[in-house]
């Protein structure tokens, strides 16, 4: 069609105006202004004038402008398919989602009137009503709503769509909705679709529930976190927990296999102590007072202890020398020497056993005396063998 020869001049001017303003914005949206009160439209234009340009025109002229610019702006041809009702263009450089959020907050609910177009699917929800049994059951049936009587009240059995989006609302249905307290109409700009960089965002996409969307993101994060943790895939968010898990599992393995570490040494030694006590009880071994088995950590006490033992050894040696000078039999002398050495050895062993974190060890300060006592016993035994 040749618009230059067959179109009126005012139509040409309007198309040129639309083409001019459309090219100045990144976001192009179409809306339906049906049932929009002029006063409220004026207030919205005033409140949005710094961010959104709202302009009304005939749908045919808007489509002509879109056709003229479809080679320059990708997606205008698809956006044209969403034009309906009393169309308006909403032009902005903000996000289309921000635009939809602003328009949604500005809307208010209103009862339906006969002849109006449904802005959305109108649903009669399931549940009890405030009406007793009566003619309203027939009205609900005529509208396609299944109802019954429960506890003396009319109750809708299930959610029912009585008018789909874009259909005309009949007067009888409008009256029924008003009686049920349902206000399906929204006074405000009905955003239909928006175009951004060749992508069409429809009304259903733009009018998402922000809280639900945020919850979905949180759920996705939690699911991803759980997956990474369960397959031991390290990330900056789960690395601490993975290390804690590895530490716990390694400790459990060490405990189960009696592998001694700095973290479980007391536990393993405690377990060994209990098992030793049980074994001692079965074998009827004599009781040992472990309170007397302590570790000396005082250097002065160690020196004192060493001095006492040394004196005892010297005394025993002197006694041994005296015994050799007495007119006793050689066998009696050697027997006494052996018994004396055994007594010294036992005394040394009793005094030198110490406890360190449940682990017994010999006192290194007395090794020399112990070896001497053992050598004395061995010598006495050798002499005894020679005599025999």
We report the CATH number of the domain holding residue 97 as 3.30.70.1730
CA distance readout (Å), 140 to 46, 120, 136: 43, 20, 6
Q: Is residue 253 a part of any domain in this protein?
A: no
Under a CB-based contact definition with an 8 Å cutoff, are residues 25 and 91 in contact? yes
Write the CATH number for 117: 3.90.105.20
The Cα 179–Cα 172 span in angstroms is 11
Q: 317-361 pLDDT, tens per residue?
A: 555 555 445 445 565 666 666 666 666 655 555 555 544 444 444
89 & 11 share domain: yes
Question: Percentage of residues in the chain with pLDDT exceeding 90?
Answer: 22
- How far separated are the first and last CA of the chain, in Å rounded? 142
Residue 303, pLDDT above cutoff 70: no
Give the E-state strand segments of 118-219 in sequence order.
122-124, 127-128, 147-150, 153-156, 160-163, 185-187, 190-196, 199-202
Angle made by CA atoms 155, 161, 166, in degrees to the nearest 5? 150
Find the mean pLDDT for residues 61-70. 92
Picking from 154, 186, 218, the residue at the C-terminal end of a domain is 186
Q: Choose between 156 and 295: higher pLDDT.
A: 156
Q: Is residue 249 a part of any domain in this protein?
A: no
Q: Is residue 309 a part of any domain in this protein?
A: yes
Residue 61, pLDDT above cutoff 90: yes
Task: Say whether 320 sits in a helix, a strand or coil.
Answer: helix
The Cα 150–Cα 170 span in angstroms is 29
63 & 114 share domain: no
Q: Choose between 179 and 263: higher pLDDT.
A: 179
* Structural domain range at position 12: 3-107+189-208
Q: Is residue 227 a part of any domain in this protein?
A: no
Residue 17, pLDDT above cutoff 90: yes
Q: What stretches of 231-363 show up as alpha helix (H) in DSSP?
A: 239-256, 265-283, 299-325, 330-352
Q: Is residue 270 a part of any domain in this protein?
A: no
According to the per-residue pLDDT averaged within each range, which of 186-200, 354-368, 370-384 is highest? 186-200
160 & 92 share domain: no
14 & 130 share domain: no
- Cα dihedral 199, 201, 206, 209 in deg (nearest 10): -80
Q: 309-319 pLDDT, tens per residue?
A: 455 555 555 55
Q: Is residue 231 a part of any domain in this protein?
A: no
58 & 193 share domain: yes
Total structural domains in the chain?
3
Mean pLDDT of the chain: 78
131 & 71 share domain: no
203 & 170 share domain: no
Residue 226 pLDDT class (50, 70, 90 cuts): very high
200 & 69 share domain: yes
Find the mean pLDDT for residues 296-307. 53
The Cα 362–Cα 124 span in angstroms is 91
Q: Is residue 236 a part of any domain in this protein?
A: no
pLDDT of the residue at 316: 54
Q: Choose between 182 and 5: higher pLDDT.
A: 182
Find the mean pLDDT for residues 259-275. 80
204 & 88 share domain: yes
169 & 298 share domain: no
pLDDT of the residue at 379: 74
Picking from 152, 186, 220, the residue at the C-terminal end of a domain is 186
Find the mean pLDDT for residues 197-226. 88
52 & 139 share domain: no
Q: Is residue 230 a part of any domain in this protein?
A: no
Angle made by CA atoms 63, 27, 206, in degrees to the nearest 5? 95
137 & 194 share domain: no
Find the mean pLDDT for residues 298-306. 54
pLDDT of the residue at 352: 53
Angle made by CA atoms 84, 88, 170, in degrees to the nearest 5? 40
The Cα 194–Cα 199 span in angstroms is 8
* Token reading at 340: 């004396």
Q: Choose between 284 and 84: higher pLDDT.
A: 84
Q: 130-158 pLDDT, tens per residue?
A: 888 888 888 888 888 888 888 888 889 99
């Amino acid at each position: 069609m040749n618009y230059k020869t067959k179109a009126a001049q005012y139509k040409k001017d309007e198309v040129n105006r639309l083409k001019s303003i459309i090219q100045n914005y990144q976001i192009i949206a179409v809306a339906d202004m049906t049932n929009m009160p002029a006063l409220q439209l004026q207030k919205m234009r005033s409140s949005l004038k710094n961010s959104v340009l709202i302009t009304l025109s005939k749908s045919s002229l808007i489509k002509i402008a879109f056709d003229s610019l479809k080679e320059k702006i990708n997606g205008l041809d698809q956006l044209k398919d969403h034009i309906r009702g009393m169309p308006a263009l909403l032009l902005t450089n903000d996000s289309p989602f921000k635009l939809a959020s602003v328009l949604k907050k500005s809307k208010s609910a209103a009862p339906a009137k006969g002849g109006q177009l449904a802005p959305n699917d109108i649903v009669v929800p399931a549940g009890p009503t405030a009406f007793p049994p009566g003619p309203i059951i027939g009205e609900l049936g005529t509208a396609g709503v299944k109802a019954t009587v429960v506890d003396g009240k009319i109750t809708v059995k299930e959610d029912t769509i009585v008018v789909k989006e874009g259909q005309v609302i009949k007067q009888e249905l409008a009256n029924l909705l008003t009686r049920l307290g349902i206000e399906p109409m929204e006074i405000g700009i009905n955003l239909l679709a928006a175009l951004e960089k060749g992508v069409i965002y429809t009304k259903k996409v733009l009018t998402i529930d922000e809280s639900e969307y945020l919850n979905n993101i949180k759920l996705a994060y939690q699911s991803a976190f759980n997956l990474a943790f369960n397959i031991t895939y390290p990330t900056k968010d789960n690395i601490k927990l993975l290390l804690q898990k590895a530490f716990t599992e390694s400790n459990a393995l060490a405990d189960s296999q009696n592998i001694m570490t700095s973290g479980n040494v007391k536990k393993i030694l405690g377990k060994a102590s209990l098992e030793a006590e049980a074994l001692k009880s079965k074998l009827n071994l004599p009781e040992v007072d472990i309170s007397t088995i302590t570790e000396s950590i005082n250097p002065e006490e160690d020196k004192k202890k060493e001095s006492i033992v040394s004196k005892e050894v010297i005394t025993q040696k002197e006694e041994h020398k005296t015994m050799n000078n007495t007119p006793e039999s050689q066998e009696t002398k050697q027997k006494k020497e052996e018994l004396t050495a055994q007594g010294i050895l036992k005394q040394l062993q009793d005094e030198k056993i110490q406890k360190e974190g449940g682990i017994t060890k010999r006192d290194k300060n007395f090794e020399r005396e112990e070896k001497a006592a053992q050598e004395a016993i061995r010598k006495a035994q050798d002499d005894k063998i020679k005599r025999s």
